[in-house]
Amino acid sequence: MSLKPTMSKDAQQLHDLIVGKILGHERGHERDQQTKDYILGISDMGWCREYARHMVLKTPRDPGYVRKERYDWAAMIGRSLESSVLDALQAGDLVLKRGLEVSVVLPSGLRIKGHPDAVLVGVLDGVDVVIDVKTKDGLAAPMKDGADLQQQFQRRLYGHACKQEGLVSGDVKVGNLWLDRSASSDQWAWVELEDLEDYMLDEVDQWLSDVTYAVTHDEPAMQDQPYHMCEAVCPFFVSCRGDAEPPEVVDDPHGVVDRAAAAMRQATALEREAKDLRRSYREEVEGVTGKTERFSITSTRINESETPAQFRKAHTRVTIRERKR
């Protein structure tokens, strides 16, 4: 039994129309066009060297390739949120440069184009900050691990591009602003900053030289992304690793394992639905203490505390994924 309420036929039709329009609009975005034209941009640096090699070689994309919709949906939410945040900053007394298209020239002479989110002019005691905005469902990961390689390369390249184009001057800082789109904790935003240094361009050149080497020697480059991510978003998945890790065929003549796996998948989906249900109604009751017709509600504020490390018993983790057909 599904916990999800069903929509009427008309409501479903309108839902499909709206979602289709949003996804279509998202997929027609300018940065996606750059990707369609096989142009490597600043945001591609640090992601996957084998992907970059395929882009350089203009490898045909997998027939019927469409990025999984949830990634387009997340990108749309991120872009909308980022735009509202920048509007808010601009409405105050901050001097902001946004909507920029810049390019950076690496020490090797390679030029790469990109679109930084914003330059905050003189925001830290006169120091300019080039900031890249990211949205996440909860900020635990960036708070713990900080920016990954792709995010570091991205902000540093935007910083250097802005510097080379005279959009910033003097000492410059670059950073990420992460925004929590779930609003489920008190930590709504997280910032990581660093000074812009020259060596940062050499690191990107080094990363790209691995790609160039692989192209000129006609050999694969480093596969930097995990299999599940490749499968979800990469247009070169089949040519790159479609057969590299085929699921082992389980001896299951009566379909027992297959049915059990399906049940576990369903259970996971129900758990997710239940979690969504709780989250979507939570703000109606959070902070309420008292009685309704049917319930007694108590809201108690729990103060922040360090959780001591816990002992975890050895166990077997089971991962079940839908097979590609």
Report the residue from 45, 48, 89, 211 that binds ligand SF4 according to the rule CB under 6 A.
48
Q: Which stretch binds ligand SF4 (CB under 6 A): 50-58, 186-194, 249-257, 312-320?
A: 50-58
Residue 46: CB minimum distance to ligand SF4, A: 12
Question: Backbone phi, then psi, for 92, in 5-degree steps?
Answer: -85, -155
Nearest CA to 324 out of 250, 237, 258 is that of 237
Residue 75: CB minimum distance to ligand SF4, A: 17
Nearest CA to 239 out of 65, 27, 43, 66 is that of 65
CB-nearer residue toward ligand SF4: 147 or 230: 230
Q: Is 237 in the site for ligand SF4 (CB under 6 A)?
A: yes
239 burial via Cβ count (<10 Å: 0-12, 13-18, 19+): middle
Site size toward ligand SF4 (CB under 6 A) is 12
Residue 76: CB minimum distance to ligand SF4, A: 22
Q: 297: which residues sit within 8 A by CB, 6+ positions away?
A: 285, 288, 289, 290, 291
Q: Which two tokens stand for residue 89?
A: 């900053």
Which of positions 210-229 make contact with ligand SF4 (CB under 6 A)? 223, 225
CB-nearer residue toward ligand SF4: 164 or 223: 223
CB-nearer residue toward ligand SF4: 118 or 221: 221
Q: Is 119 in the site for ligand SF4 (CB under 6 A)?
A: no
Question: Backbone phi, then psi, for 103, in 5-degree steps?
Answer: -135, 150
CB-nearer residue toward ligand SF4: 25 or 321: 321
Residue 47: CB minimum distance to ligand SF4, A: 7
CB-nearer residue toward ligand SF4: 167 or 240: 240
Q: Which stretch binds ligand SF4 (CB under 6 A): 44-52, 95-103, 151-159, 203-211?
A: 44-52
Distance (Å, rounded) from C-alpha 49 to C-alpha 37?
A: 18
Show the CA angle centred on residue 196, arms to residues 193 and 201, nearest 5°. Answer: 125
Q: Is 61 in the site for ligand SF4 (CB under 6 A)?
A: no
Nearest CA to 163 out of 203, 123, 196 is that of 196
Residue 212: CB minimum distance to ligand SF4, A: 16
Distance (Å, rounded) from C-alpha 118 to C-alpha 133?
A: 8
Q: Which stretch binds ligand SF4 (CB under 6 A): 88-96, 113-121, 182-190, 236-244?
A: 236-244
Rg (CA), the chain: 24
Q: Is 130 in the site for ligand SF4 (CB under 6 A)?
A: no
The DSSP bridge partners found for residue 312 are none
Report the residue from 51, 153, 178, 207 that binds ligand SF4 according to the rule CB under 6 A.
51
Please say whether the beta carbons of 156 and 196 come within 8 A. Answer: yes
Which residues contact ligand SF4 by CB under 6 A? Answer: 48, 50-51, 54, 223, 225, 230, 234, 236-237, 240-241
